[in-house]
Amino acid sequence: MDWSIQDIARIAGTTSRTLRHYDDIGLLKPSRTGHNGYRYYNQAALVQLQRILLLRGLGLGLPVISQVLDDEADATKALAGHLEWLKQEQDRLARQIASVTQTIEAVKGGGEIMAEDMFDGFDHTQYKDEVEERWGKDAYAKGDSWWRGMSADEKSAWKQRSRQLGADWITAATSGIAPDSAEAQAMAKRHVEWLTGIPGTPASDVAGEVNDGGKARLKAYVTGLGEMYVADARFAANYGGQDGAAFVRDALAFYAEQNL
């Protein structure tokens, strides 16, 4: 007792094209082939097909499924590995949802997706409210006047330096080194020094102080900034996306913990 290709397709809830595909890649061969080339499937093939569709429904890829069917012993292993991947995907999705949500808010408020001066320390036009709220009422005014006081060449040089810093971070993040490695910590040091060059932020304020209260504020500023890089997709974009930004955040956090 066997069925034609359409028959099992209907029984199993799939299409004949899929069955031909599985035949092509050797995942499921028909149990019998007619003299005319027609594919026929028997009970055993149907069970195999059900298994395939079951595993596929769980999100496994066809090569993995093939391997699991060959050796059902490591089915548990394959499934466990897949489960890990699924959980990572879930985390990634959660972060993306948070990012999109926040970006919607930012775009609603700011108007543009990314301002031209984004990343140059912080945005001096789009981030007025946010800067005032997070770092104090006069922080924005200070930073703004400092920026406006620069000549075109100075601005250009500053931007160049900022971009270079970002590019180097990206290089570091994608090179596979750890956030607490010497190279990454050197980058963190450079980043903090760079921050210190921007008036109107806790970083620059602290530069002239020696008391501990100032150092505590700097530490909070640096770590907080790292979080913001990850949370705000517009900043994250400057570090090669969320993954790169996460690397920067981790490196900064470790640096702050050790040195500030």
Which does residue 36 touch among DNA, a second copy, none (CB within 5 to 8 A, set by kind)?
Answer: DNA
Which does residue 124 touch among DNA, a second copy, none (CB within 5 to 8 A, set by kind)?
Answer: none
Alpha carbons 41 and 218: distance in angstroms, whole number:
71
Residue 103 engages a second copy in binding (rule: CB under 8 A): yes
Q: How far is the CB of 27 from DNA (least distance, A)?
A: 9
Residues binding a second copy: number (CB under 8 A): 63
Q: How far is the CB of 1 from DNA (least distance, A)?
A: 14
Among 139, 244, 246, 252, binds a second copy (CB under 8 A): 244
Among 33, 125, 145, 174, binds a second copy (CB under 8 A): 174
Q: How many CB atoms lie within 10 A of CB 171?
A: 14
Torsion of CA 129, 132, 137, 139, to 10 degrees: -130
Residue recorded with tokens 């699924």: 86
The tokens describing 124, both together, are: 């001096």
Nearer to a second copy among residue 31 and residue 132 (C-beta): 31
Residue 72 engages a second copy in binding (rule: CB under 8 A): yes
Alpha carbons 8 and 49: distance in angstroms, whole number:
9
Residue 83 engages a second copy in binding (rule: CB under 8 A): yes
Which residues, including other chains, have CB under 8 Å from residue 18's CB and lie 6 or more apart? 9
Among 71, 87, 154, 161, binds a second copy (CB under 8 A): 87
Alpha carbons 256 and 260: distance in angstroms, whole number:
5
Alpha carbons 79 and 52: distance in angstroms, whole number:
13
Which does residue 184 touch among DNA, a second copy, none (CB within 5 to 8 A, set by kind)?
Answer: none
**CA triple 49-51-55, angle to 5 deg:** 120
Question: 221-229 long-range CB contacts below 8 Å, 24 or more apart?
Answer: 221/135, 221/195, 222/192, 222/195, 222/252, 222/255, 222/256, 222/260, 223/252, 223/253, 223/256, 224/134, 225/195, 225/252, 226/250, 226/252, 226/253
Residues 13-72 touching DNA, rule: CB under 7 A, are 15-18, 20-21, 34-39, 56, 61-63
Beta carbons of 188 and 165 less than 8 angstroms apart: no
Site stretch for a second copy (CB under 8 A), options 48-56, 129-137, 205-213, 219-227: 48-56
Residues binding DNA: number (CB under 7 A): 20
Under the rule (CB under 8 A), what is the footprint of a second copy? 1, 10-14, 43-44, 47, 50-51, 53-55, 57-59, 68, 72, 75-76, 79-80, 82-83, 86-87, 89-90, 93-94, 96-97, 99-101, 103-104, 107-108, 112-114, 116, 118-119, 156, 163, 166-167, 170-171, 174, 233-234, 236-242, 244
Under the rule (CB under 7 A), what is the footprint of DNA? 4-7, 15-18, 20-21, 34-39, 56, 61-63
